[in-house]
Amino acid sequence: MPLWLVRPHTLEPVQTAQFADVEMREREDLERLLRDRFSVVDDEVLIIAEEFGDFRDARRRVDLLGVDHQGRLVVIELKRTDDGGHMELQALRYAAMLRTMTFDDVVHTYERHLRLHAPAAASDARTALIDWTGEAETEGTLSTDTRIVLISRDFGVEVVSTVLWLRDYGVDVRCIRLVPYKHLTDVLLDVQPVVPVPEVAIVEVKFGRKAAAARTAVRQDRDLTRFIIAENGQPSTPPLRKRRAVLEIVQRLHGRGITGERLAQALPGNKLRRVEGEYDPDTIEAAFHSAHPGSDPRRFFLEEPLREANTAWVLSNGWGRNTAEALAKLVALDPDRLLSIQPVSGEADLDYPGDEVP
């Protein structure tokens, strides 16, 4: 189906083209463009490798390899064809071969990728990945699930049928149609999801969230502990997930005169970041990105900074199994010795209100 140009008195069609017609090659063009701007397909995926081939005793290469915010590897396969060939079978083979990959392997892979395409950020690869996978709840680990994204000019019925069957069995496989259009000297690309279509995806998210979360928790043995914050021995919060519990304690301590510097020293790694200057909610994200170019601003509570004279401190929203230890160190800073924490099981309510990730 063509795109349409709106003219003063008519609609003018922009006809589709073949990739060969617009001189776009698979690896040199499509792969390179999507490597640098995969957000046009999925802004929840960070590309960590191109032409990944670290397989023992196998001469195979994944077109693009990514990781999402839940710590799931993402196998991305590209084709210029109208039927997708056998790309779904190829991607499944790659997903199986990646099952032994560890978080350290991912860090090494991403470092190598950055040395080629963004050398200045290569030394921050581990920190950037920990920030990116903050929703995984288990810092420094990978999910046992692997996602697959198939991108082609179009898909044959065999590919679509296989993908739908795999999705029925809980495998996250997606088909993205990438169609070129030629208008004068410009090439336009239409990027559209085929499986699942947006309406179905919304329904899947709405009705499948709790089951998916429970399934992932079982597979990963995830730590779903929540924390009740008590003051003077009396509970003052409902059970909070890790990120909210840490934020609550940090905010209370800062309000009692504990500086951002002292709080940052009590927390592991770079969980509390300094941003110099005075910033409002509309500009702090840009300031954070400038101060910490290797980190994803979405992995921090930018909307709830700790403000000091000409300085803002922003807390990470990615917390794993070291949360209880971090909370204990923070509570020890309380000048009035009134704060305490009580861990509780978090399995009963996976969708507790107020725990959304920014």
**Neighbour-count burial for 122-131, b at 16+ CB within 10 Å, e otherwise:** bebbbbbbbb
Which amino acid would we find at residue 184? L
Whether the Cβ atoms of residue 107 and residue 126 lie closer than 8 Å to each other: yes
Q: What are the residues facing 64 on neighbouring strands?
A: 50, 76
What is the pLDDT confidence band of residue 38, given thresholds at 50, 70 and 90? very high
What is the pLDDT confidence band of residue 219, given thresholds at 50, 70 and 90? very low
Give the tens place of pLDDT for each residue, 124-174.
898 888 878 865 545 556 888 899 999 999 999 999 999 999 998 889 999
Give the tens place of pLDDT for each residue, 177-215.
999 998 888 899 999 998 887 544 444 544 444 444 444
CATH code given to domain 3-220: 3.40.1350.10
Q: What is the pTM of this model?
A: 0.62
Average pLDDT, the chain: 84
Domain boundaries of the chain, sorted by first residue: 3-220, 226-344
- Other residues' Cβ atoms within 10 Å of the Cβ of residue 117: 13
What share of the chain in percent tops pLDDT 70? 85
What is the pLDDT confidence band of residue 329, given thresholds at 50, 70 and 90? very high
